[in-house]
Amino acid sequence: MKLEGLTTEARNEATKNIDQRSTIEMVTLINQEDQKVAEAIQKVLPKIAEAIDAASERFKKGGRLIYCGAGTSGRLGALDAIELTPTYSVPPERAFGLLAGGEKAMYQAIEGAEDSKELAIEDLKKHQLTAQDVVIAIAASGRTPYAISAIEYGQEVGALTISVTCNDVSPMNQIAEIGIAPIVGPEVITGSTRMKAGSAQKMVLNMFSTGIMIKIGNIYQNLMVNVQPTNEKLVQRAANIIKEAAEIDEEQAKEYLQAAHLEVAPAIVMAKAAVDYQQAKQLLAEHEGRISEVLT
């Protein structure tokens, strides 16, 4: 597929003279284009929901979330994976990003890496991809060889394959088991897919991973109940979560947090169900970590 045939590579008629506009006119144009991103995502919500349901089932059974991509897209995938550890206590080996060009590509462009289909296979083999896993391939164009190869090898192994692109007729969107393709239209600056396409990919990945976390019980009501209290700020946040969820005062919340060995979910169950730490852990295990089911 040639670049000139892609929506993400087309010229934006509304911004052809952006270089001649005042600064406030410039940022107004960018803002007007950015508003199209959420509208584009709204149209693919059924696909995002389908991806969440399918991926959460595999994740519950021990599967991993493996994000694959190059450049901006790859970095966004890695970011989504990395943030699941402090926010939801997901072990880093269960959600991680693979970038064309390796870890160095997180900080600088590695020319040619995204064009290698072999590199994606090597990276996935290195991490011993299995049929339990989920491969999330990300590329604005939907034609990046590294990302395409990740999908193809994932299907060969039997893993769930999901693509996140911004061109609906792209190879990735057509070959992935679940293709998510919000069409955001031409970029403000022609071909600069770190802009609207990047924003769309970030929003889709936010929904995707958050949806999975809700499904597996890492969220109670709208509270992060598996946050890792690894510093003073997060200990305070953990106490506030317990306070809100259990409807108790701050001092009691801190006492429950300490009694639960700094684990928020058991602390909430202890406070609301009047049980000790071991009983709370047992109840959570019996209900797949979902506090709402424990307390029903």
* Residues with catalytic function: 83, 114
Q: Using an 8 Å Cβ cutoff, are 120 and 156 in contact?
A: no
> CA quadruple 39, 44, 50, 56: dihedral positive or negative?
negative
Write the DSSP assignment of 199-234 as a string of letters.
HHHHHHHHHHHHHHHHHTTSEETTEETT----SHHH
Q: Using an 8 Å Cβ cutoff, are 244 and 283 in contact?
A: no
Q: Using an 8 Å Cβ cutoff, are 150 and 68 in contact?
A: yes
Which tokens sit at 58? 């595999």
> Which residues, 6+ apart, have CB-to-CB distance to 237 below 8 Å?
227, 229
Write the DSSP assignment of 50-110 as a string of letters.
HHHHHHHHHHHTT--EEEEESHHHHHHHHHHHHTHHHHH---TTTEEEEETT-GGGGTS--
Side chain identity at residue 61, one-letter code:
K
